[in-house]
Amino acid sequence: MAKKEQTPKIYFLDVTNRDGVQTAKLGLSKLEKTMINIYLNEVGVFQSEFGFPTTRHEARYLEANLELVKMGVLKPIRLEGWIRAIVEDVKTAFKFVPNIKHLNLSISTSEQMLKGKFRGKKTGDDIIKEMTDAVDAAKAMGAESIGVNAEDGSRTELGFLVKFGLAAKEHGAARLRYCDTLGYDNPFTIYETMKALAENVVMPLEVHCHGDLGMAVANSLAGAKGSIDGGQDAYINTTVNGIGERAGNADLVACILAITKSKGFAKKYQMGSPIKLTMAAKIAEFASYAFDVPIPLNQPGVGANAFAHASGIHADGVLKDPENYELYSYKELGRGKPKFVETGREIISGQYSGVAGFRHLMGKMNVSFASRDEAADILELVRYANVQSHKPLVEDELLFIAKYPHIAQKVLTQTPLVLETV
Protein backbone atom coordinates (compact mmCIF):
# COMPACT_ATOMS: atom_id res chain seq x y z
CA MET A 1 0.00 0.00 0.00
CA ALA A 2 1.45 3.33 -1.06
CA LYS A 3 1.17 5.85 1.72
CA LYS A 4 1.86 9.54 1.64
CA GLU A 5 4.95 10.54 3.58
CA GLN A 6 3.23 13.29 5.53
CA THR A 7 0.40 12.56 7.89
CA PRO A 8 -2.84 13.04 5.97
CA LYS A 9 -4.95 16.04 6.96
CA ILE A 10 -8.57 17.13 7.14
CA TYR A 11 -9.86 19.95 4.93
CA PHE A 12 -13.27 21.55 4.58
CA LEU A 13 -15.10 21.83 1.31
CA ASP A 14 -18.30 23.79 1.79
CA VAL A 15 -21.24 23.17 -0.50
CA THR A 16 -23.72 25.77 0.81
CA ASN A 17 -23.74 27.58 -2.52
CA ARG A 18 -24.60 24.34 -4.35
CA ASP A 19 -26.31 21.74 -2.12
CA GLY A 20 -27.58 24.43 0.25
CA VAL A 21 -29.31 26.48 -2.40
CA GLN A 22 -30.75 23.31 -3.97
CA THR A 23 -32.87 22.91 -0.86
CA ALA A 24 -36.60 22.92 -1.51
CA LYS A 25 -38.26 26.24 -0.59
CA LEU A 26 -34.92 27.99 0.00
CA GLY A 27 -32.47 30.02 -2.02
CA LEU A 28 -29.89 32.80 -1.96
CA SER A 29 -29.44 35.90 -4.09
CA LYS A 30 -26.20 36.11 -6.05
CA LEU A 31 -24.89 38.78 -3.69
CA GLU A 32 -25.70 36.56 -0.71
CA LYS A 33 -23.82 33.69 -2.37
CA THR A 34 -20.88 36.04 -2.85
CA MET A 35 -20.94 36.99 0.83
CA ILE A 36 -20.98 33.29 1.78
CA ASN A 37 -17.80 32.79 -0.30
CA ILE A 38 -16.18 35.75 1.44
CA TYR A 39 -17.09 34.47 4.90
CA LEU A 40 -16.01 30.89 4.06
CA ASN A 41 -12.65 32.29 3.00
CA GLU A 42 -12.36 34.07 6.34
CA VAL A 43 -13.25 30.87 8.20
CA GLY A 44 -10.37 29.09 6.42
CA VAL A 45 -12.45 26.69 4.36
CA PHE A 46 -10.28 25.11 1.64
CA GLN A 47 -12.84 25.16 -1.15
CA SER A 48 -16.30 26.52 -1.82
CA GLU A 49 -18.52 24.69 -4.25
CA PHE A 50 -19.76 28.04 -5.42
CA GLY A 51 -22.49 27.11 -7.87
CA PHE A 52 -23.65 25.69 -11.16
CA PRO A 53 -21.56 26.73 -14.17
CA THR A 54 -24.03 25.16 -16.61
CA THR A 55 -26.89 27.31 -15.33
CA ARG A 56 -27.08 30.51 -17.30
CA HIS A 57 -28.31 32.76 -14.49
CA GLU A 58 -25.28 31.73 -12.38
CA ALA A 59 -22.69 32.63 -15.02
CA ARG A 60 -22.11 36.29 -14.19
CA TYR A 61 -22.05 35.64 -10.48
CA LEU A 62 -19.50 32.84 -10.99
CA GLU A 63 -17.30 34.94 -13.27
CA ALA A 64 -17.47 37.91 -10.91
CA ASN A 65 -16.41 35.72 -7.98
CA LEU A 66 -13.52 34.32 -10.02
CA GLU A 67 -12.50 37.95 -10.55
CA LEU A 68 -12.48 38.38 -6.78
CA VAL A 69 -10.03 35.45 -6.69
CA LYS A 70 -7.78 37.21 -9.20
CA MET A 71 -7.98 40.43 -7.22
CA GLY A 72 -6.85 38.58 -4.10
CA VAL A 73 -10.12 39.29 -2.28
CA LEU A 74 -11.04 35.61 -2.23
CA LYS A 75 -7.74 34.11 -1.19
CA PRO A 76 -6.66 31.39 -0.42
CA ILE A 77 -10.05 29.76 -0.88
CA ARG A 78 -10.67 27.77 -4.08
CA LEU A 79 -13.91 28.18 -5.97
CA GLU A 80 -15.21 25.09 -7.69
CA GLY A 81 -18.28 24.49 -9.81
CA TRP A 82 -20.55 21.46 -9.71
CA ILE A 83 -21.64 19.79 -12.94
CA ARG A 84 -22.81 16.39 -14.10
CA ALA A 85 -20.04 14.04 -15.21
CA ILE A 86 -20.87 14.27 -18.88
CA VAL A 87 -18.89 15.90 -21.69
CA GLU A 88 -21.82 18.12 -22.63
CA ASP A 89 -21.82 19.73 -19.16
CA VAL A 90 -18.06 20.27 -19.29
CA LYS A 91 -18.42 22.11 -22.59
CA THR A 92 -21.31 24.22 -21.36
CA ALA A 93 -19.45 25.08 -18.15
CA PHE A 94 -16.44 26.42 -20.06
CA LYS A 95 -18.72 28.23 -22.48
CA PHE A 96 -20.69 30.03 -19.78
CA VAL A 97 -17.80 30.44 -17.31
CA PRO A 98 -14.56 30.46 -19.33
CA ASN A 99 -12.38 31.26 -16.31
CA ILE A 100 -13.51 28.33 -14.21
CA LYS A 101 -10.50 26.39 -12.86
CA HIS A 102 -11.93 23.81 -10.50
CA LEU A 103 -14.78 21.40 -11.10
CA ASN A 104 -16.56 18.54 -9.41
CA LEU A 105 -18.15 16.08 -11.79
CA SER A 106 -21.05 14.07 -10.42
CA ILE A 107 -22.68 10.84 -11.53
CA SER A 108 -24.85 8.21 -9.81
CA THR A 109 -23.05 4.94 -9.16
CA SER A 110 -25.51 2.72 -7.26
CA GLU A 111 -27.43 -0.29 -8.53
CA GLN A 112 -30.60 1.50 -7.46
CA MET A 113 -29.82 4.47 -9.68
CA LEU A 114 -28.70 2.28 -12.59
CA LYS A 115 -32.08 0.58 -12.43
CA GLY A 116 -34.33 3.29 -11.07
CA LYS A 117 -32.87 6.45 -12.61
CA PHE A 118 -31.14 5.29 -15.79
CA ARG A 119 -33.87 2.63 -16.27
CA GLY A 120 -31.36 -0.10 -17.07
CA LYS A 121 -30.11 1.79 -20.12
CA LYS A 122 -26.64 2.18 -18.64
CA THR A 123 -24.21 -0.37 -17.22
CA GLY A 124 -21.55 0.29 -14.62
CA ASP A 125 -18.98 0.42 -17.39
CA ASP A 126 -21.05 3.04 -19.24
CA ILE A 127 -21.06 5.18 -16.11
CA ILE A 128 -17.30 4.89 -15.78
CA LYS A 129 -16.82 5.73 -19.46
CA GLU A 130 -19.05 8.82 -19.23
CA MET A 131 -17.17 9.99 -16.17
CA THR A 132 -13.67 9.44 -17.62
CA ASP A 133 -14.68 11.12 -20.89
CA ALA A 134 -15.90 14.09 -18.87
CA VAL A 135 -12.67 14.18 -16.83
CA ASP A 136 -10.63 14.07 -20.07
CA ALA A 137 -12.70 16.90 -21.55
CA ALA A 138 -12.35 19.03 -18.41
CA LYS A 139 -8.58 18.55 -18.41
CA ALA A 140 -8.37 19.35 -22.10
CA MET A 141 -10.37 22.54 -21.58
CA GLY A 142 -8.08 23.74 -18.82
CA ALA A 143 -9.45 22.54 -15.49
CA GLU A 144 -6.71 22.72 -12.85
CA SER A 145 -8.38 20.38 -10.40
CA ILE A 146 -11.18 17.90 -10.81
CA GLY A 147 -13.10 16.08 -8.14
CA VAL A 148 -15.25 13.14 -9.14
CA ASN A 149 -18.43 12.47 -7.18
CA ALA A 150 -19.95 9.02 -6.73
CA GLU A 151 -23.56 9.98 -6.11
CA ASP A 152 -25.46 7.52 -3.93
CA GLY A 153 -22.06 6.06 -3.05
CA SER A 154 -23.37 4.55 0.18
CA ARG A 155 -25.70 2.27 -1.80
CA THR A 156 -22.96 1.35 -4.25
CA GLU A 157 -21.03 -1.89 -4.00
CA LEU A 158 -17.51 -1.25 -2.71
CA GLY A 159 -15.83 -3.11 -5.55
CA PHE A 160 -17.49 -0.87 -8.11
CA LEU A 161 -16.63 2.26 -6.13
CA VAL A 162 -12.97 1.24 -6.14
CA LYS A 163 -13.06 0.61 -9.87
CA PHE A 164 -14.80 3.95 -10.42
CA GLY A 165 -12.25 5.76 -8.23
CA LEU A 166 -9.25 4.11 -9.91
CA ALA A 167 -10.58 5.08 -13.34
CA ALA A 168 -11.05 8.69 -12.17
CA LYS A 169 -7.52 8.76 -10.78
CA GLU A 170 -6.01 7.26 -13.91
CA HIS A 171 -7.63 10.04 -15.96
CA GLY A 172 -6.22 12.73 -13.70
CA ALA A 173 -8.92 13.48 -11.14
CA ALA A 174 -7.57 14.93 -7.90
CA ARG A 175 -10.19 13.61 -5.46
CA LEU A 176 -13.00 11.12 -5.18
CA ARG A 177 -16.17 12.25 -3.41
CA TYR A 178 -18.01 9.54 -1.54
CA CYS A 179 -21.61 10.75 -1.34
CA ASP A 180 -23.93 9.39 1.29
CA THR A 181 -26.66 11.05 -0.72
CA LEU A 182 -29.54 9.61 1.28
CA GLY A 183 -27.96 9.77 4.72
CA TYR A 184 -27.96 5.96 4.85
CA ASP A 185 -24.55 5.41 6.47
CA ASN A 186 -23.68 5.31 10.14
CA PRO A 187 -20.26 6.14 11.67
CA PHE A 188 -19.22 2.47 11.66
CA THR A 189 -20.09 1.72 8.04
CA ILE A 190 -18.75 4.98 6.65
CA TYR A 191 -15.47 4.54 8.51
CA GLU A 192 -14.95 1.10 6.97
CA THR A 193 -15.91 2.25 3.46
CA MET A 194 -13.74 5.36 3.51
CA LYS A 195 -10.78 3.42 4.89
CA ALA A 196 -11.17 0.77 2.20
CA LEU A 197 -11.43 3.45 -0.51
CA ALA A 198 -8.35 5.24 0.78
CA GLU A 199 -6.36 2.00 0.83
CA ASN A 200 -7.52 0.69 -2.51
CA VAL A 201 -7.98 3.82 -4.63
CA VAL A 202 -5.07 5.67 -3.00
CA MET A 203 -6.22 9.20 -3.65
CA PRO A 204 -7.58 12.01 -1.45
CA LEU A 205 -11.22 11.49 -0.55
CA GLU A 206 -14.18 13.73 0.05
CA VAL A 207 -16.93 12.70 2.41
CA HIS A 208 -20.41 14.08 1.71
CA CYS A 209 -23.05 13.34 4.32
CA HIS A 210 -26.73 14.04 4.83
CA GLY A 211 -28.79 14.05 8.00
CA ASP A 212 -31.70 11.74 7.19
CA LEU A 213 -30.82 9.57 10.19
CA GLY A 214 -29.44 12.44 12.27
CA MET A 215 -25.80 11.43 11.80
CA ALA A 216 -24.39 13.82 9.20
CA VAL A 217 -21.75 15.34 11.48
CA ALA A 218 -20.84 12.05 13.19
CA ASN A 219 -20.59 10.33 9.80
CA SER A 220 -18.37 13.11 8.44
CA LEU A 221 -16.01 12.72 11.37
CA ALA A 222 -15.93 8.92 11.08
CA GLY A 223 -15.53 9.11 7.30
CA ALA A 224 -12.62 11.54 7.61
CA LYS A 225 -11.01 9.25 10.16
CA GLY A 226 -11.41 6.32 7.78
CA SER A 227 -9.71 8.20 4.96
CA ILE A 228 -6.81 9.28 7.16
CA ASP A 229 -6.36 5.85 8.74
CA GLY A 230 -6.27 4.54 5.18
CA GLY A 231 -3.46 6.99 4.41
CA GLN A 232 -5.28 9.74 2.49
CA ASP A 233 -6.31 13.37 3.04
CA ALA A 234 -9.98 13.86 3.87
CA TYR A 235 -12.17 16.69 2.59
CA ILE A 236 -15.34 17.05 4.62
CA ASN A 237 -18.30 18.49 2.71
CA THR A 238 -20.34 20.90 4.85
CA THR A 239 -22.99 23.57 4.61
CA VAL A 240 -23.48 26.58 6.86
CA ASN A 241 -26.09 25.73 9.53
CA GLY A 242 -26.44 22.31 7.90
CA ILE A 243 -28.88 23.77 5.35
CA GLY A 244 -29.39 21.24 2.58
CA GLU A 245 -31.78 18.93 0.85
CA ARG A 246 -34.35 17.11 3.02
CA ALA A 247 -32.86 16.75 6.53
CA GLY A 248 -29.83 18.77 5.51
CA ASN A 249 -26.05 18.36 5.24
CA ALA A 250 -23.24 18.20 7.78
CA ASP A 251 -23.08 21.55 9.57
CA LEU A 252 -19.80 23.42 9.07
CA VAL A 253 -19.46 24.76 12.61
CA ALA A 254 -20.48 21.46 14.24
CA CYS A 255 -17.93 19.58 12.11
CA ILE A 256 -15.17 22.01 13.10
CA LEU A 257 -16.15 21.61 16.76
CA ALA A 258 -16.28 17.81 16.45
CA ILE A 259 -12.78 17.67 14.99
CA THR A 260 -11.19 20.12 17.37
CA LYS A 261 -13.09 19.39 20.60
CA SER A 262 -14.25 15.78 20.66
CA LYS A 263 -12.49 13.29 22.89
CA GLY A 264 -8.90 12.82 21.75
CA PHE A 265 -9.65 13.51 18.09
CA ALA A 266 -7.61 16.67 17.52
CA LYS A 267 -4.51 15.08 19.00
CA LYS A 268 -4.45 12.47 16.26
CA TYR A 269 -6.30 14.08 13.36
CA GLN A 270 -5.38 17.52 12.18
CA MET A 271 -6.66 20.19 9.94
CA GLY A 272 -4.79 20.96 6.72
CA SER A 273 -5.36 24.70 6.88
CA PRO A 274 -5.88 27.00 9.86
CA ILE A 275 -9.53 27.45 10.79
CA LYS A 276 -10.81 30.66 12.33
CA LEU A 277 -13.57 29.41 14.59
CA THR A 278 -14.21 32.97 15.80
CA MET A 279 -16.02 33.54 12.47
CA ALA A 280 -18.60 30.89 13.44
CA ALA A 281 -21.26 33.17 14.90
CA LYS A 282 -20.97 35.64 12.06
CA ILE A 283 -21.30 33.17 9.18
CA ALA A 284 -24.09 31.26 10.93
CA GLU A 285 -26.07 34.45 11.55
CA PHE A 286 -25.60 35.67 8.00
CA ALA A 287 -26.71 32.34 6.49
CA SER A 288 -29.71 32.30 8.79
CA TYR A 289 -30.69 35.81 7.69
CA ALA A 290 -29.99 35.17 4.00
CA PHE A 291 -31.86 31.85 3.85
CA ASP A 292 -34.50 33.22 6.20
CA VAL A 293 -34.19 30.10 8.36
CA PRO A 294 -33.71 30.63 12.11
CA ILE A 295 -30.75 28.95 13.81
CA PRO A 296 -32.21 26.21 16.04
CA LEU A 297 -32.09 27.08 19.74
CA ASN A 298 -29.93 24.04 20.45
CA GLN A 299 -27.59 24.32 17.45
CA PRO A 300 -24.02 23.35 18.49
CA GLY A 301 -21.92 26.41 19.21
CA VAL A 302 -24.12 29.02 17.59
CA GLY A 303 -27.66 28.30 18.89
CA ALA A 304 -29.20 30.78 21.33
CA ASN A 305 -29.08 28.16 24.10
CA ALA A 306 -25.61 26.79 23.36
CA PHE A 307 -24.21 28.64 26.39
CA ALA A 308 -27.39 29.17 28.43
CA HIS A 309 -27.63 27.73 31.93
CA ALA A 310 -30.77 27.80 34.04
CA SER A 311 -30.62 24.99 36.56
CA GLY A 312 -29.15 25.95 39.94
CA ILE A 313 -26.48 23.30 39.95
CA HIS A 314 -25.26 24.06 36.43
CA ALA A 315 -25.39 27.84 36.82
CA ASP A 316 -23.44 27.65 40.08
CA GLY A 317 -20.96 25.25 38.54
CA VAL A 318 -20.35 27.25 35.39
CA LEU A 319 -19.89 30.47 37.36
CA LYS A 320 -17.26 28.82 39.54
CA ASP A 321 -15.43 27.46 36.51
CA PRO A 322 -16.93 27.50 32.98
CA GLU A 323 -15.20 24.21 32.21
CA ASN A 324 -17.45 22.55 34.78
CA TYR A 325 -20.35 22.62 32.33
CA GLU A 326 -19.02 23.96 29.02
CA LEU A 327 -16.86 22.04 26.57
CA TYR A 328 -15.64 25.24 24.90
CA SER A 329 -16.02 28.96 25.40
CA TYR A 330 -18.52 31.17 23.60
CA LYS A 331 -15.64 33.52 22.86
CA GLU A 332 -14.01 30.89 20.67
CA LEU A 333 -17.02 31.10 18.35
CA GLY A 334 -16.95 34.86 18.14
CA ARG A 335 -19.90 35.28 20.50
CA GLY A 336 -20.26 37.63 23.42
CA LYS A 337 -19.86 40.92 21.60
CA PRO A 338 -22.67 43.36 22.31
CA LYS A 339 -25.13 43.80 19.46
CA PHE A 340 -26.62 47.18 18.72
CA VAL A 341 -30.23 47.15 17.75
CA GLU A 342 -31.75 50.45 16.68
CA THR A 343 -34.74 51.21 18.89
CA GLY A 344 -35.43 54.69 17.61
CA ARG A 345 -35.61 56.04 14.09
CA GLU A 346 -34.26 53.63 11.52
CA ILE A 347 -33.20 54.31 7.94
CA ILE A 348 -32.82 51.09 6.01
CA SER A 349 -31.88 50.25 2.45
CA GLY A 350 -34.64 49.21 0.08
CA GLN A 351 -35.57 48.98 -3.57
CA TYR A 352 -37.03 52.49 -3.44
CA SER A 353 -34.47 54.19 -1.19
CA GLY A 354 -33.33 57.72 -1.98
CA VAL A 355 -29.85 59.25 -2.00
CA ALA A 356 -30.18 61.32 1.19
CA GLY A 357 -31.30 58.35 3.31
CA PHE A 358 -28.63 56.17 1.75
CA ARG A 359 -25.83 58.65 2.47
CA HIS A 360 -27.02 58.84 6.05
CA LEU A 361 -27.03 55.05 6.33
CA MET A 362 -23.54 54.69 4.84
CA GLY A 363 -22.27 57.58 6.94
CA LYS A 364 -23.08 55.55 10.05
CA MET A 365 -20.60 52.96 8.73
CA ASN A 366 -18.04 55.70 8.07
CA VAL A 367 -18.47 55.48 4.30
CA SER A 368 -18.70 58.83 2.54
CA PHE A 369 -19.06 59.57 -1.15
CA ALA A 370 -17.14 62.09 -3.23
CA SER A 371 -20.30 63.36 -4.88
CA ARG A 372 -24.05 62.96 -4.99
CA ASP A 373 -23.65 61.13 -8.31
CA GLU A 374 -21.28 58.58 -6.81
CA ALA A 375 -23.71 57.94 -3.97
CA ALA A 376 -26.53 57.57 -6.48
CA ASP A 377 -24.52 54.99 -8.46
CA ILE A 378 -23.84 52.86 -5.42
CA LEU A 379 -27.45 53.24 -4.30
CA GLU A 380 -28.59 51.96 -7.67
CA LEU A 381 -26.66 48.73 -7.04
CA VAL A 382 -28.07 48.49 -3.52
CA ARG A 383 -31.60 48.79 -4.89
CA TYR A 384 -31.01 45.95 -7.34
CA ALA A 385 -29.49 43.81 -4.60
CA ASN A 386 -32.59 44.46 -2.56
CA VAL A 387 -34.86 43.45 -5.43
CA GLN A 388 -33.07 40.09 -5.50
CA SER A 389 -32.91 39.38 -1.78
CA HIS A 390 -36.23 40.95 -0.69
CA LYS A 391 -34.73 42.16 2.55
CA PRO A 392 -32.62 45.02 3.85
CA LEU A 393 -28.94 44.41 3.12
CA VAL A 394 -26.64 43.74 6.06
CA GLU A 395 -23.73 46.05 6.80
CA ASP A 396 -21.16 43.75 5.12
CA GLU A 397 -23.23 43.62 1.93
CA LEU A 398 -23.48 47.41 1.79
CA LEU A 399 -19.76 47.76 2.44
CA PHE A 400 -19.00 45.16 -0.24
CA ILE A 401 -21.05 47.03 -2.83
CA ALA A 402 -19.43 50.34 -1.92
CA LYS A 403 -15.94 48.82 -2.10
CA TYR A 404 -16.36 46.68 -5.24
CA PRO A 405 -19.13 48.34 -7.26
CA HIS A 406 -18.02 46.83 -10.57
CA ILE A 407 -18.01 43.31 -9.17
CA ALA A 408 -21.38 43.96 -7.51
CA GLN A 409 -22.76 45.13 -10.84
CA LYS A 410 -21.73 41.85 -12.48
CA VAL A 411 -23.12 39.78 -9.64
CA LEU A 412 -26.43 41.61 -9.88
CA THR A 413 -26.81 41.57 -13.65
CA GLN A 414 -29.09 38.92 -15.05
CA THR A 415 -30.37 38.91 -18.59
CA PRO A 416 -32.69 36.10 -19.63
CA LEU A 417 -32.33 34.63 -23.09
CA VAL A 418 -34.25 36.07 -25.98
CA LEU A 419 -37.30 33.86 -26.30
CA GLU A 420 -37.48 32.22 -29.67
CA THR A 421 -40.51 30.01 -29.36
CA VAL A 422 -43.13 32.33 -27.90
Closer residue to Zn ion (CB): 180 or 233: 180
Task: Choose one: 16-24, 166-174, 291-299, 329-337; the region binding Zn ion (CB under 5 A).
Answer: 16-24
> Cβ of residue 104: shortest distance to Zn ion, in angstroms?
11
Of residues 347-406, those binding Zn ion (CB under 5 A): none
C-alpha span between 367 and 20 (Å, rounded): 33
Q: Say how many C-beta atoms besides its own lie within 10 A of residue 254's C-beta.
A: 22
Return the residue nearest Zn ion (CB atom): 19
In the complex with Zn ion, the residue whose CB is nearer, 41 or 181, is 181
Q: Which lies closer to Zn ion via its Cβ, residue 14 or residue 19? A: 19
Nearer CB in complex with Zn ion: 49/397: 49
Complex with Zn ion: residue 220 or 299, whichever CB lies closer? 220
Q: What is the 3-state secondary structure (H, E, C) of the chain?
A: CCCCCCCCCEEEEECHHHHHCCCCCCCCCHHHHHHHHHHHHHHCCCEEEEECCCCHHHHHHHHHHHHHHHCCCCCCCEEEEEEECCHHHHHHHHHHCCCCCEEEEEEECCHHHHHHCCCCCCCHHHHHHHHHHHHHHHHHCCCCEEEEEEECHHHCCHHHHHHHHHHHHHCCCCEEEEEECCCCCCHHHHHHHHHHHHHHHCCCEEEEEECCCCCHHHHHHHHHHHHHHCCCCEEEEEEHHHCCCCCCECEHHHHHHHHHHCCCHHHHCCECCCCCHHHHHHHHHHHHHHHCCCCCCCCCCCCCCCCCCCCHHHHHHHHHCHHHCCCCCHHHHCCCCCCCCCCCCCCCCCCCCCHHHHHHHHHCCCCCCCCHHHHHHHHHHHHHHHHHHCCCCCHHHHHHHHHCHHHHHHHHCCCCCCCCCC
Q: Which is nearer to Zn ion, 175 or 335 (CB)?
A: 175
Binding track, positions 49-78, relative to Zn ion; x by CB under 5 A: ------------------------------
CB-nearer residue toward Zn ion: 14 or 199: 14
Can residue 151 be called a binding residue for Zn ion (CB under 5 A)?
no
Neighbouring C-beta atoms of residue 54, cutoff 10 Å: 22
Binding to Zn ion in span 203-222, by CB under 5 A: none
**Could you tell me the smallest distance in angstroms from the CB atom of residue 187 to Zn ion?**
18
Contact 197, 162 (CB under 8 A): yes
CB of 154 to Zn ion, least distance (A): 11
Q: Which stretch binds Zn ion (CB under 5 A): 17-25, 52-60, 109-117, 156-164?
A: 17-25
Minimum CB–partner distance for residue 279 and Zn ion (Å): 23
Give the shortest CB-244-to-Zn ion separation in angstroms. Answer: 6
Binding span for Zn ion by CB under 5 A among 11-19, 36-44, 146-154, 372-380: 11-19
Query: According to CB under 5 A, which one of 12, 18, 19, 185 is a site residue for Zn ion?
Result: 19
Q: Which is nearer to Zn ion, 64 or 194 (CB)?
A: 194
Q: How far is CA 179 from CA 106, 161, 392, in A?
A: 10, 11, 36
Residue closer to Zn ion (CB basis): 213 or 347: 213
CA–CA dist 50, 34 (Å, integer): 8
The CB density around residue 91, as the number of other CB atoms within 10 Å, is 16
| CA pseudo-torsion sign 70, 75, 76, 77 | negative
Cβ proximity to Zn ion: between 132 and 237 the closer is: 237
Site string for Zn ion, 333-352 (x = CB under 5 A): --------------------
Question: Smallest distance from the beta carbon of 210 to Zn ion, in angstroms?
Answer: 6
Stretch that binds Zn ion, among 13-21, 142-150, 344-352, 364-372 (CB under 5 A): 13-21
- # residues contacting Zn ion (CB under 5 A): 1
Which CB sits closer to Zn ion, 17 or 389?
A: 17
Tell the smallest beta-carbon distance from residue 42 to Zn ion (Å): 24
Rounded least distance, CB 208 to Zn ion, Å: 6
Query: Nearest distance from residue 151's CB to Zn ion, in Å?
Result: 8
Residue 282 CB, shortest distance to Zn ion, in Å, is 25
Per-residue interface string for the shown chain with Zn ion, residues 101-120, x marking contact by CB under 5 A: --------------------
**For Zn ion, which stretch binds (CB under 5 A), given 14-22, 32-40, 89-97, 299-307?**
14-22
CA pair distance 394, 392, nearest whole angstrom: 6
Contacts to Zn ion by CB under 5 A: 19
